[in-house]
Structure 1
Amino acid sequence: MSHNMARNSRYRVKVRFKVRKRSLGVASVAALAIVLSVSAVYGTRIAWDWVSPRFSRGLVKFKLESASVEVPAKSVEQWISAHLEARRGEEWTSADCARFLEKVEKRYPYLNDAKLSRNFLTGSLRFRAGVETVVAPVTRAGSSCYLGESGRLFGEIYPEAVPGGIGAILPASPDAFPDAARFLFRLNSLSGLFDSRPLSLSCPSAGGPCRLALSDGTEVLWGGFEFTRAKILRLNEILEKSASRLKGPYKVDLRYFEDGRAVVSAL
C-alpha cells in the first residue's frame, strides 16, 4: 500500500508541473494580446488625430500643400504652377477642381486630356495634360490663327508649337477642318519629296478645289486629298518635262489625277 501511495504522490506532482506550464503559457498569450490591443488603440488614436482635421461633418477635406504640373509646354506649365502656388493652403473641393480645369481649358484650348488629381494623405495636387500638335499657321477671314491636328482652330498657341512649314488659307466656315488638317500633316511630312518646296495651301471655299503654291511660283490645283505621295512624284515628272517646252512658272491641274489625267500650262 505504501508503494502505491508513493506512486500516486509522484504522479500528482508531475500533473501539477504541467498545469503550471500551461497556465504560464496562457498568461503570456493574454499579456501579449493586451499589449497588442493597447498598441492598436494608441496607433488608431494617432492616425485619427492626424486625419480628423481633414474631416468636417463626415466629408473629407483636401488642403493644398504642394502641386506638380506636367505639360509639354513651358509657358503653360509656368502659368498653372504660379496659379496653384498662389492657392497653397486653401481647401479644394471636387467643384473647385472642376472649375479650375474649366478655366485652364478655356485659356489653353489646345490642351488634351487635362486631368487634376488630389492625394488626400500628402495634400499634393497633380495636374497633367498633353498638347495638340499644330500643323499649320492659317489665315481665315483676314485673321491669323493656327490649325491643330484635330482640325480645330486656335487663336494663339504655345510658343514651342509655332509651325514653320506650309501655311494655309481657309474659308470662314465651317468651324473645323479635320480633312485639311490630316492633309497638311501628311504634306509637311512629305515636303522633302517636292522638287520645288511647297509654301501654302489655299482653299477659298469649303467645297471648292485647293490650290498649292510652290517656291518656284508654280500653282497646283490639287483636287482631292488622297494619293498625296503619288501626286507629288507625278507633279515632279510633269514639271521636269514641261521645262523643255514651256517657260515657267506653271499652272498644273491634278484634280483628275485618279483618271490618269493632268493638265499643265504657263501662268
Structure 2
Amino acid sequence: MKYNVRMAPAKKYRVKVRLKIRNRIFRNAGFALSSFAAAAVLAYCCFSAARFAAARFPGHFFAFTFKSLSVEAPSGEISAEISRRLDGKLGGTFSTGEAAEFAAGLKKNYPALSRVEVSRNFISGRVSVRAEAEKVVAKVRLNGGETFYLSENGRLLREYCGVGPEDSFETEIYAGPAAGLGPFAVFLRELKTMTPDFFSRPVRLEYRLPGAEGRSGTSPGSPAPAAPDPRIPRPPDGGYCRLTLENSALVLWGELGFTKSKISRLNEVLGDAARRINGPLKVDFRYFRDGKVFVSKLAGI
C-alpha cells in the first residue's frame, strides 16, 4: 500500500534587529565617516598651508640645514667643482629650489653629464650629489677636423669626463651640426663588439650624411660611390657607410643593419675572392637586402 506524504514547507525566520542596536550601528558608521572626512579636510588644509608658506617664505618654512656633503662624480675635476660650489652653503639652509638650480647649472657647465641628482637627508643634514656621465661609443673625427666623443644616444661631445672608450679603428663622420646620429651610434656600438669576428680587422670607418661639410677622405680624382639602386631601401639617414680593412679591402656597407650576417658573408667572400683576384678588393653590400654581394678589384673605384 502506497502513502502520499506531503511535508510542510520550512518556515523562514527573519532576524529582527532591535531598534536600539540598529541605531547604535548607524551612529557608529556615521561617526567613522565623519572622522574620515574631517581628517581628509584637515590634511588638505595643512598641505595647502605648507605650500603657501613655502612659496611665500622660501628657505624659512621647514628649512633644511646643510651639515655635510657627499659627492659621487665620474671625474676628480667634477667632484672638486661640486665641492667648491657647495662649500659656502655648509651650515646654512639649502632649499629644494636651490638643489634644482645647482643641478641645472652643473649640467649646463658639463654637457657630458647625462644626469645630476641632488638629495637631502633631513635627519642627518647630509646633501648627496650624484653626477653621471653620458655613455660614449667612440672617439670620432667630424668633417675631417675636430675630434668629438659620440654618445650612445647620438650626441657629439667636445669633452668627456668618464672613462674613455677603447677604439680599435678610426671613425670619421661627415655630417651637419644638427645631424641625427642615433642610428649610427647604435650600429657602431654593435660593430665594435664584433670586431674580433672579422677575417681582416677594420682600421677605418667612414660615415656620411647628405649635405655634410668636408671631404669624404678619398684620394684626389676618386669618383664618389655609386648612387644606390632606388628599388633598394636606403638607410634611414640616406647617407653611406664604408669600412676599410687591414688587408686594404674596402667594404661599402650600405644600410646600417644585418651586421652579424654581413660580417659572416664578408669573411666567406674575402677567403674565396683572395684566391682568384690579385690586389685589394672592393666588397659592395649596398644590395644585401636583395641577397646580392658584388666583389671587384679596389682599383676599379
TM-score under structure 1 normalisation? 0.72
Q: Supply the distance in 1 between the matched residues of 2:205 and 2:100 (Cα, whole angstroms).
A: 39
Match of 1:80 among 61, 79, 82: 82
Q: Does 1:171 align with 2:174?
A: yes
Hey, what does 2:119 align to over in structure 1? Answer: 117
Q: What is the 5 A alignment of 1:80-229? A: 80-141=82-143, 142-158=145-161, 160-173=163-176, 174-206=178-210, 207-229=238-260
The answer to whether the Cα contact below 8 Å between 2:170 and 2:203 also exists between their aligned partners in 1 is yes
Q: Which amino acid aligns with 1:79?
A: E
What is the Cα deviation at residue 57 of structure 1? Answer: 8.8
What is the Cα deviation at residue 160 of structure 1? Answer: 1.6
Q: Supply the distance in 2 between the matched residues of 1:106 and 1:57 (Cα, whole angstroms).
A: 24
Deviations 1:4-55 (A, max 9, x none): xxxxxxxxxxxxxxxxxxxxxxxxxxxxxxxxxxxxxxxxxxxxxxxxxxx9
The answer to whether the Cα contact below 8 Å between 1:134 and 1:163 also exists between their aligned partners in 2 is no
Deviations 1:134-168 (A, max 9, x none): 11111113221110011111111025224323432
Q: Does 1:259 align with 2:286?
A: no
Q: 1:77 to 1:199 in 2, by over 3 A?
A: farther
Hey, what does 2:276 align to over in structure 1? Answer: 245
Structure 2: unaligned runs, 5 residues or longer: 1-56, 211-237
Secondary structure (helix, strand or coil) at the match of 2:124 reads coil
What is the Cα deviation at residue 244 of structure 1? Answer: 1.0
What is the Cα deviation at residue 184 of structure 1? Answer: 0.5
CA RMSD, Structure 1 to Structure 2 (Å): 2.3
What is the Cα deviation at residue 101 of structure 1? Answer: 0.8
Secondary structure (helix, strand or coil) at the match of 2:163 reads helix
Q: Which amino acid aligns with 1:200?
A: R
Q: 1:139 to 1:189 in 2, by over 3 A?
A: same
Deviations 1:93-122 (A, max 9, x none): 222212211121122223233211112232
Q: Which runs of 4+ in 1 moved over 6 A?
A: none
Q: Which moved more, 1:109-118 or 1:140-149?
A: 109-118
Percent of residue pairs identical = 38
Q: Supply the distance in 2 between the matched residues of 1:58 and 1:243 (Cα, whole angstroms).
A: 78
Q: Which amino acid aligns with 2:173?
A: L
Q: Supply the distance in 2 between the matched residues of 1:165 and 1:61 (Cα, whole angstroms).
A: 53
Q: Supply the distance in 2 between the matched residues of 1:264 and 1:238 (Cα, whole angstroms).
A: 8
Q: 1:87 to 1:247 in 2, by over 3 A?
A: farther
The answer to whether the Cα contact below 8 Å between 2:171 and 2:204 also exists between their aligned partners in 1 is yes
Deviations 1:66-108 (A, max 9, x none): 1112234444334323433354334322222122111211222
When you count helix as a share of all residues, which structure comes out higher?
A: 1
Larger Rg over CA atoms: 1
Secondary structure (helix, strand or coil) at the match of 1:179 reads helix
What is the Cα deviation at residue 259 of structure 1? Answer: 1.3
The answer to whether the Cα contact below 8 Å between 1:146 and 1:157 also exists between their aligned partners in 2 is yes
Q: Supply the distance in 1 between the matched residues of 2:292 and 2:59 (Cα, whole angstroms).
A: 77
What is the Cα deviation at residue 193 of structure 1? Answer: 0.3
The answer to whether the Cα contact below 8 Å between 1:152 and 1:175 also exists between their aligned partners in 2 is no
TM-score under structure 2 normalisation? 0.64
Secondary structure (helix, strand or coil) at the match of 1:104 reads helix
Q: 1:203 to 1:58 in 2, by over 3 A?
A: closer
Q: Supply the distance in 2 between the matched residues of 1:73 and 1:57 (Cα, whole angstroms).
A: 31
